[in-house]
Amino acid sequence: MGLENLKQLTPFIKEAFQQTLLVAKFLCGIHVTNSYICTFALTQGPSMLPTFNLTGDLVLAERLSTRFEKMQRGDVVLVRSPENPRKIVIKRLMGMGGDTVRYVVDHANNGIEHTIVVPDGHVWIEGDNKFNTNDSRNFGPVPYGLVQGRVFWIVWPPEDFGSVGREVQ
């Protein structure tokens, strides 16, 4: 390859490098936004009925509240499952460290009410559909570090578009 051919290739290589760098910056920006600021999640299943649809909603969750410990009772949260770490579940935050929580394990058979004090550094989560959910009533308090974000907006389906409230069901 002659010197003349190399001179012709240099602007092409420079442009390709700049374009690759631009794509890399864009992908890094998406990663940082998704990991530290906000993320999309898909809800599925009956555990959060009637807040979310059985067939699934696309929701937006912010991650800043968890980092700055600004979570409140009634928030809908993304939590890494304490039973299956590969799975993210969506539940309602019902108690924070130091709170006393009353709950019934078996609604169908007139279950006995239990009381627990949530340990410091833990949260108590429950699904809105008390009759069909796997939550803290089954596996106990969840370490605060497993809380991944606070769901604040329903994006899809269009008829449900809007904010997710803090109502305690």
From 91, 130, 136, 163, the catalytic residue: 91
What's the rounded Cα separation, in Å, for the pair 7 and 141?
Answer: 66
What's the rounded Cα separation, in Å, for the pair 151 and 74?
Answer: 11
Q: Is 47 a catalytic residue?
A: yes
Closest residue by Cα to residue 115 from 127, 99, 130: 99
From 14, 25, 35, 47, the catalytic residue: 47
Q: Is 65 a catalytic residue?
A: no
Task: Give the side-chain half-sphere CA count within 13 A for 113.
Answer: 4
Residues with catalytic annotation? Answer: 47, 91
